[in-house]
Amino acid sequence: MADGTRADIVGRVEAGGAPAGDAGAVSDLLLARRAALRDPQAFTALVDRHGAALYRYVLRMVLDPDVAADCLQDTLVAAWTGFAGFRGESAPRTWLFGIATRQAYRHRTRVAHLPGPLPDELVEVTVPRPDQGAVDSALVEALDMALLGLPPLQRSCWLLREVEGLHYAEIADILGTTHDSVRGLLHRARGTLADAMEGWR
Amino acid sequence: MTGDAVLDRATRALRRHTDRGWTLVREDALLKALSAFRPSAPVRGRTGAHAVDRTGAPPSAVDYFVAADVVVAALREAVVAVPHAAPLAITCSTDDDDRLATVTIEILATFDEPLLPLAAEVRRAAVGRLTTLLGDLAPPATVVTVDLAITDVAPGTDVTDGDVQPVG
């Protein structure tokens, strides 16, 4: 650095991969690096890969479609404005779920003051895709009802592991707990959910 | 079916499930995210110092500021436009007067592409874009080094997401 410079870094961001326009061929990491360099197409591609899963997760954490929409939006804003600080120490998907988890816990305080029966609202939005059978749809509804019986931490842990496929270590990092604690939370969550689903036919 | 079996099946169904709410909120949430303001340091630009007034009046320089975020985005666009190169990282710093002092661009290059000419082309593109953006205060290539660190080489005919191999 030359003399006289104040040496403060005004922009340190990373990107990579092929030029924009062929996002389908690149990995999450390269899309994240492009997003860090303010590439909106890369960010959009990343959101299109993981947005549905993020919404699925936050909806089942906050249990209200309107709050879930706000939560998802805040997650995307935090991601877009925070990508410059993303160093690739975790997978971008994990990083996004970490942000979503923090937002979900923040928004849960709002939910606590909302009136009305939550289960009906939740079931209302779980419309199946055209290729899903009626049985799958009913199973999802039954599972959503069963999830209501889990404490938030167990629910978060179970969703991140069993539905979103994150590793124990990633979940422990996101939830600020230990690998063993995650294992215990999952064990209890599975037992509760299995009991709740026992009567389903 | 046991409770465990039902739970397994329901879990698989939930993994395949897309909530209608996502399709409803996607566009709006994306738009609001992409328009979110990201604060960044100012970089000083200057224009008009060499302008010639039709009346013959002396030229007057006007200083302005560009967000560092905008500078980085402009550099990314400049590098992306260079064939066989893609940006990996862009680092900038300013001096005490907010003038851009250093720019470091790391790129990913297509395998077998001659690196020195490619580096020169990226450097030209970067300096050209900075001149457009910062006017008379754009850092000349002779004063402010634009380092090109070739950190990875991607095999294939273009820079893609293939396995990358370090070259040094």
pLDDT of residue A9: 35
pLDDT at B168: 28
- CATH value at residue B88: 3.30.70.1350
| Whole-prediction pTM | 0.74
**Rounded-to-integer distance, Cα A110 and Cα A71, Å:** 11
Would the CB atoms of A72 and B29 count as touching at under 8 Å?
yes
Say if B47 falls within a structural domain: yes
Query: How many angstroms separate the CA of residue A40 from the nearest CA in chain B?
Result: 7
Identify whether B159 is part of a domain.
no
The upper half-sphere exposure of residue A83, i.e. CA atoms within 13 Å in the direction of its Cβ, equals 35
Residue with tokens 């907010």: B98
- Taking the C-alpha atoms of residue A110 and residue B89, their distance in angstroms, rounded to an integer, is 39
Residues of A in contact with B95 (CB under 8 A): 2, 4-6
% of residues, chain B, pLDDT over 70: 77
Judge whether residue A163 has pLDDT over 90.
Answer: yes
C-alpha to C-alpha distance for B42 and B52, rounded to whole angstroms = 28
Kindly tell me if the per-residue pLDDT of B153 is higher than 90: no
Give the tens place of pLDDT for each residue, B20-49. Answer: 999 999 999 999 999 987 778 899 999 876
| Closest Cα in chain A to B40 | A10
Report pLDDT for B143.
58
CA B164 to chain centre: 20
- A179 vs chain B: nearest CA distance in angstroms? 22
DSSP string covering B88-154: EEEEEEEETTS-EEEEEEEEEEETT--HHHHHHHHHHHHHHHHHHHHBTTSPPTTTS-EEEEEEEEE
- Are B71 and A11 in contact (CB < 8 Å)? yes
**pLDDT confidence of residue A173:** 93
Domains annotated for chain A, with CATH where assigned, are 26-116 (1.10.1740.10), 126-201 (1.10.10.10)
Task: Please indicate, yes or no, if residue B16 is contained in any of the structural domains.
Answer: no
Please give the interface size between A and B, counted as residue pairs whose CB atoms are below 8 Å apart.
222
Cβ atoms A18, A42 nearer than 8 A: no
The fraction of chain B above a pLDDT of 90, given in percent, is 36
Cα–Cα distance, B23 to A109 (Å, whole number): 25
Domain presence at residue B1: no
Lowest mean pLDDT among A7-16, A98-107, B73-82, B150-159: A7-16
Question: Edge to edge, what strands does the sheet with A5-14 contain?
Answer: A5-14, B85-95, B100-110, B146-154
Chain A residues close to B156, C-beta within 8 Å: none
The model's pLDDT over A71-122, given as tens digits with 9 standing for 90+, comes to 999 999 999 998 877 877 889 999 999 999 999 998 877 655 554 444 444 5
CA distance B45 to chain A (A): 15
What's the pLDDT score for residue B87? 85
Give dist(CA A58, CA B134) in Å, integer. 43
Distance CA A168, CA A5 (A): 45
The backbone torsions φ and ψ at residue A11, rounded to the nearest 5 degrees and listed phi first, read: -160, 115
Q: B87 lies in a domain?
A: yes
Tell me which residue range forms the domain holding B65: 42-154
* The CA-based dihedral angle spanning residues A28, A34, A39, A40, taken in that order and rounded to the nearest 10 degrees: 10
- A-chain residues near B10 (CB < 8 A): 139-140, 142-143, 197, 200
Chain B residues touching A19 at Cβ < 8 A: 80-81, 86, 159
Inter-chain CB proximity A5 and B94 less than 8 Å: yes
Structural contact between residues A158 and B29, judged by C-beta atoms closer than 8 angstroms = no
The total of structural domains in chain B comes to 1
Q: Which of B76, B77, B148, B162 is nearest to B111 (CA)?
A: B162
Higher-scoring residue by pLDDT: B116, A111: B116
CA atoms within 13 A on the CB side of B45: 16
CB-CB neighbors (< 8 A) of B34 in chain A: 40, 43-44, 80
Residue B32 lies in a domain: no
User: Is residue B18, in this structure, part of any structural domain at all?
Assistant: no
Task: Tell me the C-alpha distance between B23 and A55, whole Å.
Answer: 10
